[in-house]
Copies of this chain bind each other. A is one copy, B any other.
Amino acid sequence: MHNPSSFFSDRQWELIKKSVQEEMKSSPASHGWDHVRRVYELGLKIGKKEKADLTILALAALLHDIGRKEEQESKGKICHARVGAEKADGFLTRLELPDPFKNEVLHCIRSHRFRGNQAPKSLEAKVLFDADKLDSIGAVGLGRAFLFAGEVGARLHNAHRDLSGTVSYSREDTAYREFQVKLIKIKDRMLTHTGKAMAEGRHRFMVRFFERLDEEVKGKR
């Protein structure tokens, strides 16, 4: 993991990462440290191209899912973006990050789960949003969708599953339904130019994957 040259020394960045990783040990696997690492790398890459502040972005990427444990334990009643921002506030205060900086980071965390209420306004919040969403699509998104299907005991493929409606995930479900219901829409939600271009490539790869899966399931290739 690269460090953005900035406010903190390399030594400090390593300590920050270690303590976030420690904090995330009991997070759900699908949104654990591996996901955070990928969003961090993607965020820095997009952030450089979009000329965002990389210190704000790096801190926001590292801390964006720090509230997942609380969301899971509350069975979804607590929003991880809201509680994550609260936890991050304490964390960043201990790092003696100046208030204006800290508030920028907290805005990114609060708005990364954009569902109409807290929209990403700053450039850094938009980049974090895109990096987080990009990690749900492409080859990574496919792997995560099947991994999640395996975690809940779902099937490999089920062409007869009704794709409409909002019934919760069951053994009759598949990664294909996840794609049709959610992942297929992500490329149109990107907020930055760089994020949009990357999402197009990842989207096309998923489409080709499911076309091939379908042909193979029918014994055609």
Contacts and interface: CB of A to CB of B under 8 A. Distances in A.
Interface stretch (A12-20, A78-86, A197-205): A197-205
Interface residues of A, number: 40
A146 B42 CA distance: 23
A147 B150 contact: yes
Contacts of A143: 146, 156-157, 175, 213
B139 A42 contact: no
> Secondary structure at chain A's binding surface: helix, strand, loop or mixed?
helix
A36 to B, nearest CB: 12
Given A149-B150, A221-B201, A216 B138 contact: yes
A97 interface: no
Contacts of A144: 156
A91 interface: no
Interface string A165-177: 0000000000100
Nearest to A45: B219
Given A34-B155, A139-B212, A142-B142, 12 more contacts: A34-B156, A38-B217, A41-B219, A139-B210, A139-B216, A147-B147, A147-B150, A147-B156, A150-B151, A151-B153, A201-B221, A202-B216
